[in-house]
Structure 1
Amino acid sequence: MLAPESLCSTFKHEHYYRHNFATKAELFAAIDNWMEFHNSYRRDSSIGMLSPDAWERSLTVSGTDQAA
């Protein structure tokens, strides 16, 4: 999982520097869209090539299995 500083750096290098935003609203929409992509679809090698959402779901399932 990325630390907040790494997350901001990743966003800037993958998206912000490659686009021009005319308004703050456009920038905020781009951030929302990128965060949705990052958390739901982008695979991360540090968590077994899963998306952050899939990794979190796997922890929840594992925790449920251990309690049973």
Structure 2
Amino acid sequence: MAETTIGLYKTEAIRDDSPFRRGPLHRLADVELITADWVSWFNRSRLMHRLGRKPPVEYEADYYALHAEQPAGDR
């Protein structure tokens, strides 16, 4: 799994035509900024097929909203 994630990161965040890049990478800080943006997108915004093509944040909110309405014994 780590190798797949690293491959996605390099393809989606580091390549020259990446939407996360704001220019050339001259300093470590440039890479850190891109990495933070990509990780935020990856964990919060990307559409996930196994979650019904929803972003993780939306799926999590739906999950807790559904379970908040059920008494603890019904779970």
Q: Give your verdict on TM over 0.5.
A: yes
Call closer, same or farther: CA 1:9–1:62 in 2, change over 3 Å.
Answer: farther
Q: How far apart are residue 9 of structure 1 and its match?
A: 2.6
Give me the whole-angstrom Cα distance separating, in 2, the residues matched to 1:62 and 1:14.
33
Give me the whole-angstrom Cα distance separating, in 1, the residues matched to 2:44 and 2:69.
23
Structure 1 alignment gaps of length 5 or more: none
The structure that is helix-richer by fraction is 1
Following TM superposition, the consecutive aligned residue runs of length 4 or more in structure 1 with deviations greater than 4 angstroms are none
Alignment correspondent of 2:27: 23
Alignment correspondent of 2:37: 33
Alignment correspondent of 1:43: 47
Structure 2 alignment gaps of length 5 or more: none
Higher Cα Rg, which structure: 2
Call closer, same or farther: CA 1:25–1:13 in 2, change over 3 Å.
Answer: same
Matched residue pairs, number? 65
Q: How far apart are residue 14 of structure 1 and its match?
A: 1.3
Give me the whole-angstrom Cα distance separating, in 1, the residues matched to 2:66 and 2:33.
34
Which structure is higher in RCO with an 8 Å CA cutoff and minimum separation 6? 1
Q: How far apart are residue 39 of structure 1 and its match?
A: 2.9
Q: TM-score scaled by structure 1?
A: 0.70
